Structure 1
Amino acid sequence: MDILSLLGIILAFAAILGGNLLEGGVLSSLFNGPAALIVVGGTFAATILQTSWPVLKRAFIQVRWVFVPPYIGMEDGIGKVIDWSVKSRKQGLLGLEGLAEREPERFARKGLQLLVDGAETETIRSILEVDLENREQRDVDSAKVFEAMGGYAPTIGIIGAVMGLIQVMTNLEDPATLGSGIATAFVATIYGVALANLLFFPVANKLRSLTRERSRYEDMMIDGIVAIAEGENPRSIELRLRGFLP
């Protein structure tokens, strides 16, 4: 569990609600069903319209990374590569076959299998880099879904505000309806701006950050696997891979 992400969301909304209370407002004034329907419904509708189903599905599955990020163990990765290097020098590349079958990471398993198959170093690098780039692009596309939501939400909030003001203007002779119309107008704007800047943009940036970390890890694995194929000394490989550590 990423405590900082959870704490960030709690503090963000606590600041908004707490500030409202300190200014003498009441919480009920910030809860407006029509405004929420306009902003949330409109934002999701616009995002669904511009996004393909596979990308949308992956984005909503991947959003759990914000609170439960994937494990990216750079030190563990270096340790694994060094173990592979030592074993390959003692038993040859075919000695890695058993490790390839038991390796839980799909990317590392693919690299080990290429080593066992005796692929050329440039072939190994090319295949793994294509795999990395495709995975990275899918992850970036997931982050862009939430960036799109952050872009649409404030604009939809303005639409909600205008709709509320229209209701006010068309019912000036009925004072009982003025309050709800004005509330919808201002609350819709708050919803749009708050969701964009306190939720959607931070989620998108967090996913991008995790994507960069994962790509750095896989870049490190590629360098390590290629170095094994070239027969480098385990100590030299370790020194090179430690350059990837933050």
Structure 2
Amino acid sequence: MDWASLGGLFLGLSALLLGQHLEGGHVGSLLQPAAFVVVFAGTVGAVLLQSGMGNFLRGVAMARWIIAPPKDGFAAASLQIQAWSATARREGLLSLERFQESARDPFVAKGLRLIVDGAEQGKIREILEVDISSYERKERQAVKIWEAAGGYAPTIGILGAVLGLIHVMENLSEPARLGSGIAVAFVATIYGVGLANLVFLPIANKLKAIVAEEVSRREMLADIFFSIAGGDNARVIQEKMSAYR
């Protein structure tokens, strides 16, 4: 559980509510369903139009990493690499087949399979680099839905404000109905700017950092597979591992 993310979100939203209270306003005045529907649904629609359903669903699923980020892959990989290196030096490259069969990570299984199959070093690196590039491209496309939401939300908030002002202008002859229209107008802007800068953009930046870390782990593994295939000793492999931390 990433308590820093939860605390940051809570602190950001609390700052808005506390500021509203200190200014003498009512917190309830910020709860405008019409404004929320315009901003949230409008933003989701714009993001769907840009990204497509596949990237949208993948990006939404990745949001769980904000609260429960993936485990440190480098620590687990270090123990595995030491076992691979020692086994390959002692029993030969074909002995890595048992590690391949038990590997849960498809990328690890592919790297070990290439070594066991006797692929050339250059081919191993080439194939794994293509795999890494494909993974990074797909993940970044999914993360972009949050960046897009952060870009669209403020503008759609302004649209919500304009709709509220149109409602005000239509009811100038009924002063009792003016207050609700003005409230929707200003609250829509708050929702748009607030969601963009307190939720959408922070999520996008954190997910990009998580993806970058996973890409770095895969690059390390690709480098290690290259070294194991070439018969490098444990010291060389250890030095390569340390360069990625």
Per the TM superposition, whether the score is higher than 0.5 is yes
Aligned 1:18-97 pairs, distance under 5 A: 18-97=18-97
Deviation at 1:153, TM superposition (A): 0.5
Which shows bigger deviation, 54-63 or 203-212? 54-63
State the alpha-carbon separation in 2 of the partners of residues 160 and 200 from structure 1: 18
State the alpha-carbon separation in 1 of the partners of residues 178 and 57 from structure 2: 41
CA-to-aligned-CA distance 1:139-196 (integer Å, 9 cap, x gap): 1011110111111100000011111111111211110111001001100000000000
State the alpha-carbon separation in 2 of the partners of residues 27 and 75 from structure 1: 46
Look up the SS of the partner of 1:58 in the other structure. helix
AA paired with 1:13?
L
CA-to-aligned-CA distance 1:57-103 (integer Å, 9 cap, x gap): 11111111111112233133122112101100111001111111011
Deviation at 1:12, TM superposition (A): 0.8
CA contact (8 A) 2:73 2:214 kept: no
Aligned counterpart, 1:193? 193
State the alpha-carbon separation in 2 of the partners of residues 73 and 156 from structure 1: 39
Which shows bigger deviation, 73-82 or 132-141? 73-82
CA contact (8 A) 2:146 2:201 kept: yes
Aligned counterpart, 1:226? 226
Q: What TM-score, normalized to structure 1?
A: 0.97
Aligned counterpart, 2:113? 113
State the alpha-carbon separation in 1 of the partners of residues 183 and 227 from structure 2: 64
Deviation at 1:49, TM superposition (A): 1.3
State the alpha-carbon separation in 2 of the partners of residues 173 and 228 from structure 1: 81
State the alpha-carbon separation in 2 of the partners of residues 31 and 153 from structure 1: 17
State the alpha-carbon separation in 1 of the partners of residues 104 and 33 from structure 2: 47
CA contact (8 A) 2:146 2:203 kept: yes
CA contact (8 A) 1:72 1:213 kept: no
Aligned counterpart, 1:102? 102
State the alpha-carbon separation in 2 of the partners of residues 40 and 53 from structure 1: 17
CA contact (8 A) 1:164 1:185 kept: yes
Deviation at 1:230, TM superposition (A): 0.5
CA contact (8 A) 2:160 2:189 kept: yes
Which shows bigger deviation, 77-86 or 35-44? 77-86
Look up the SS of the partner of 2:59 in the other structure. helix
Look up the SS of the partner of 2:243 in the other structure. helix
Count of aligned residue pairs for this structure pair: 245
State the alpha-carbon separation in 1 of the partners of residues 232 and 223 from structure 2: 11
Greater than 3 Å deviation, 4+ residue runs = none
Look up the SS of the partner of 1:244 in the other structure. coil
AA paired with 2:216?
R
Q: What TM-score, normalized to structure 2?
A: 0.97
State the alpha-carbon separation in 2 of the partners of residues 185 and 35 from structure 1: 7
Deviation at 1:232, TM superposition (A): 0.3
1:161 correspondence with 2:161: yes
Structure 2 portions without partners, runs of 5+:
none
1:152 correspondence with 2:152: yes
CA contact (8 A) 1:78 1:241 kept: yes
Percent identity between the two aligned chains: 46
State the alpha-carbon separation in 2 of the partners of residues 19 and 216 from structure 1: 41
AA paired with 1:135?
Y
Structure 1 portions without partners, runs of 5+:
none
CA contact (8 A) 2:143 2:204 kept: yes
AA paired with 1:208?
K
